[in-house]
Amino acid sequence: MATAPSRAASRTDNHAGEGTRERILDVALRLFAEHSVAGTSLQMIADELGITKAAVYHHFHTWEELLSTLVEPAVEEMRALVDAAAAHRTPHGRAEHMLTGFVDLTMRHRRLSAILSSDQAIARLLKAQAHYEELVERPLALLGGALPDPAGRINATVALSGIASTAGNDLLGDLDDDTMRKLLIQTGRRTLGLRPPRTPRTTS
């Protein structure tokens, strides 16, 4: 017969602090990177935090809710980036803004970006949601617009996935953020066939 949780366990679950929700997300992200989404259970997350699985369910009622909450900040940033890039008048301007903005976004969410680019479980979740167009379809169109299809779309796909997976690659952890950003943008421009913006001339 199952026994009721001890008072100590209840205190741990109910008084883990205001940061429990954020700690769950942080641990989930790390475990997803190590074991994949499919290879990570709620029990693993709970064990890592020293709480019960019921405590995890208290903050996230479903697995999908946890995943959606995890990607929400990056989704909102991507939506704003796409809108800003689309406001440029020329295909080159739209692609340049999308490229540099996407590099900055992936640098802020390095581990998540690597998971999004490689884990099919999260990819399927995102594809089923309404914001999939902002995350994938519109960025591809903006990045590839400077070249005719299918070359533009292929180059844009290579650039997006390559930037996302490279930014989160632990083997490149010795690079500082400024160097990583510069090289990712340079590589992205070469992939997309974009010329660097002209440097304004200074007058003496």
Secondary structure (DSSP) of 101-132: HHHHHHHHTHHHHHHHHH-HHHHHHHHTSTTH
How confident is the model over 131-180, as pLDDT tens digits?
666 677 889 999 998 777 788 889 999 999 899 989 888 788 788 999 99
Q: Which residue has the tokens 């900055």?
A: 104
- Stronger pLDDT, 180 or 126, i.e. the higher one: 180
pTM of the predicted structure, to 2 decimals:
0.81
Q: Give the ranges where the chain is alpha helix by DSSP (H).
A: 7-14, 20-35, 42-49, 53-59, 63-86, 91-108, 110-118, 120-127, 132, 138-144, 151-167, 177-192
Q: Give the pLDDT of residue 200.
A: 61
Conformation bin of residue 17: beta by default, left when phi > 0, alpha when psi is -120 to 50: left
Q: Does domain 9-61 have CATH number 2.160.10.10?
A: no
Structure tokens belonging to residue 199: 């440097």
* Residue 15: pLDDT band with limits 50, 70, 90: very low
**Domain boundaries for CATH 1.10.357 within the chain:** 68-192
Q: Does domain 68-192 have CATH number 1.10.357?
A: yes
**Domain boundaries for CATH 1.10.10.60 within the chain:** 9-61
